[in-house]
Amino acid sequence: MANLKRVGAREAIDAFLRWADKSGNNVILCDELKAVSGDGIKFVPRNSLASQVDILVSMGGDGTLLASARAVGDSGTPLLGINLGSLGFLTQLTPHQLVPALDAICKGDYQIEPRMVLRAETEGMADAESPYALNDVVVNNGPVSRLIDINLSVNGEDIVTYNADGLVISTPTGSTAYSLAVGGPIMHPRMEAMIAAPISAFALTTRPMIFAPDDVLEVRIVSPDHKGGLALDGQVMLPIKGSASVVIKRAEYHLKFIVFPDNTFYKVLKSKLHWGHTPRAL
């Protein structure tokens, strides 16, 4: 899968196809890439891709990889992310690293890193493409900018009612995404936990909390009009109906990320967040 709007996408796909032809490997492209010319290329729908390949290569930004993760679902197909964007915490490799990475995979010189996934349940969820999220489940104030009251309970026990713009429930993988932007902690993606981080809470004593992976979180908007929205990985959006609650728990499967020993999570953090660099005056 690839985002053709990204600079360098076509060049990366061409490099992939040349590598496959030279190495004798078969390549199947998502049918959204039919603008890519080439004889003998097999195209299949996005939702059929994971079942027909040994690995799924996602080229683009983190948004493309999140879409790829939704396409993979519980199939168990490993994901390899190639970063054609700017930041890219999920898509850690550059296009220049693509061919060496593919060669290493063919030799078995790689590791599989399981990533925790969240499942959300609420009224109307049957209308959604998928109830799962790799990064986060967000309950917010919807299209109207206003503070709302959001109640959080865990395993049936009432914990706190936030007066805020929303609440981010994140996985460790998503700890470097929206959760980080609202003040949540950074967690290693191999960890198993859930982070609850309020968005612009109207109380200085309100802080993010970390919950055990087997906990069941229930979020409910308790403002008088009960209006709000639900977002899964920023890609699936649903209105919250009335006083309906959103139940969030660990999914019954993990996603498999392809990683390499010389490209650790901490190296990525140092590179992306510019740790260790002295700020320079403009």
Domains and CATH numbers, the chain: 9-115+255-272 (3.40.50.10330), 118-250 (2.60.200.30)
pLDDT at 126: 75
Yes or no: say if 166 and 140 are a contact pair by the CB < 8 Å rule.
Answer: yes
The answer to whether the pTM exceeds 0.75 is yes
Q: Report H helices in the chain.
A: 9-23, 46-49, 62-72, 98-107, 178-181, 265-272
What is the DSSP track for 136-162?
Answer: EEEEE-TTS---EEEEEEETTEEEEEE
Query: DSSP 3-state assignment of 191?
Result: coil
Task: Output the CA torsion 45→114→254→108 (10° steps).
Answer: 50
Structure tokens at 96: 């220049």
Least confident of 39-43, 156-160, 179-183: 39-43
The residue assigned the tokens 């004889």 is 39
Identify the CA nearest to 136 among candidates 113, 117, 162, 149.
117
> What integer is the mean pLDDT of 213-232?
93
Both tokens of 67, joined, read: 């879409």
132-150: b (≥16 Cβ within 10 Å) or e: bbbbbbbbbbbeeeebbeb
Return d(Cα 177, Cα 50) in angstroms, integer: 25
Q: What is the mean pLDDT of residues 178-191?
A: 96
CB 163 within 8 A of CB 190: no
Residue 128 pLDDT: 74
Mean pLDDT of 24-29: 94
Measured distance CA(251)–CA(40) in Å, rounded: 38
Q: Sheet containing 136-140: which strands, arranged edge to edge?
A: 209-211, 194-199, 166-170, 136-140, 229-232, 236-239
- Catalytic residue, chosen from 21, 31, 62, 233, is 62
Residue with tokens 């964007």: 85
Answer left, alpha or beta for residue 85, where phi above 0 means left and psi between -120 and 50 means alpha: beta
- Dihedral (Cα; 268, 270, 8, 23), 10-degree rounding: -40
Does pLDDT of 249 surpass 80?
yes
Residue 62 is among the residues annotated as catalytic for this protein: yes
> Which of 181, 170, 114, 110 is closest to 139 using CA atoms?
170
Q: How many CB atoms lie within 10 A of CB 279?
A: 6
Q: What angle do CA 251, 253, 258 make, to 5 degrees?
A: 125
Whether 282 has a pLDDT exceeding 60, the answer reads: no
Mean pLDDT of 13-40: 91
Give tens-digit pLDDT for 99-150: 999 999 999 999 999 999 999 999 877 777 789 999 999 999 987 778 999 9
The arrangement of strands across the sheet holding 79-83 comes to 56-60, 79-83, 255-259, 111-115
